[in-house]
Amino acid sequence: MIRPAELIQRKRDGEELSAEELSELVLGYTRGEVPDYQMAAFCMAVFFRGLSRAETFALTDAMVRSGDTIDLGAALGRKVVDKHSTGGVGDKTSLAVGPIVAACGVPLGKMSGRGLGHTGGTLDKLEAIPGVRTELTLDEYVAQVREIGVAIIGQTGDLVPADKLLYGLRDVTATVDQPSLIAASIMSKKLAAGAQAIVLDVKVGDGAFMKSIEDARQLAETMIAIGRDAGREVVCLLTDMDQPLGAAVGNALEVREAFDTVRGDGPPDFTELVLDACAKLLALSDLGIDEAEGRRRAESAVADGSAVERWQRWIEAQGGTADESALPVAAVIHELRAPRAGYVSRLSAIRVGLAAVHLGAGRRTKEDEIDHAVGVVVRAKRGARVEEGDVLAEVHARTSSEAEVAAAEVLDAYEVQDAPVEERPVLLEVVT
């Protein structure tokens, strides 16, 4: 049996650990033989020292082997696709992409996680829908992808239990934004859940774990390498996260916005990213089409209502109420107004994200309960012209006092200038 303290010390001192050592550490932690405090210390050592490519793959492989795996392609007799984001503020993309891709005849199976730090988790958003189950058995997961064409589930005790444990630990020990740990977490879920082709959305900027395009590119290349070593097709989109994606930040608010987008009424930046991701997933599928045709088919599924129909079938299959009027609503809605006229030159994603966390939309400790109703809706984004007194954002809160505190935080996220602001696309780069 390895001595965890020895591995922590060696990694702290910059040594490279073997695949066997990393495997024993991860599997020991999963079995409860390595306590949280030692694994937290190991994550902090990795945060400062990093992992080599070989170590990163070994960590990912050990996390996959901590539980069951599934070959969705063999189970369905089809090529199954998946989409994942590294986490951002207002990023509800998977909720819209899944039913659109399924409506185009391509099965999508996805295993997701919960919120980390200021970023929202897909499972937390889904669970804002009354009745939704995210903990499906493997048999239920396979059956739903076969019958409905889309399933988004959490890590059950059988699938990647090591990542489920580490995910929550990293969130409360300031070890979230480390490239190898992010890559291992994401790719372990992708490999275990069984998709053959994966589109990864790597966020870049103020509200992302990767602050620079160079760091985002490094993370993308790391995940692509893990995927290739495991025999999977992987494409990475590097996308802007200097400001929130779309307008809604907060669980029920984001579900509403995702549904609006599936029926063709979403914000322009969010709609563009959703269609980009759909086009790439459809081009990677077994339909034998290129990206241009994939984009056309995704737009058609939204326009003819088949994506909405698939959304409703998906939500109901997981026990949820597809009627958006059933979503929880905050007791207080406070309008934040512009203190001066001009153009919005900056809207800090991380400040908006933290304001939402402080309202209760995210977790500050591992045990925190999510309030699905609260959050922020930004009404003026970067480049928008505003007049004094125009609504910049809405704060959805439990109490008036909480709303006022959050409104001050959101106001600090805004900068307004006299001159017009140059537009910047959501999609910055594609890495293959």
Q: Which residues are catalytic?
A: 84, 163, 170, 185, 189
- The tokens for 364 are 């500050």
Phi, psi of 281 (to 5 degrees): -65, -40
- The tokens for 202 are 């790597």
Rounded Cα distance, 274 and 289, in Å: 18
> From the CB of residue 404, how many other CB atoms can be counted at a distance below 10 Å?
14
Rounded Cα distance, 340 and 324, in Å: 35
> From the CB of residue 276, how many other CB atoms can be counted at a distance below 10 Å?
24
CB half-sphere exposure, 345, CA atoms < 13 A = 9
Task: For the chain, count helices (H), then strands (E).
Answer: 17, 13
- The tokens for 142 are 């396979």
The residues facing 333 across adjacent strands are: 396
- The answer to whether 254 touches 278, Cβ cutoff 8 Å, is no
User: Beta strand pairing status for 197-204 and 233-240?
Assistant: parallel
- The tokens for 93 are 């993309």
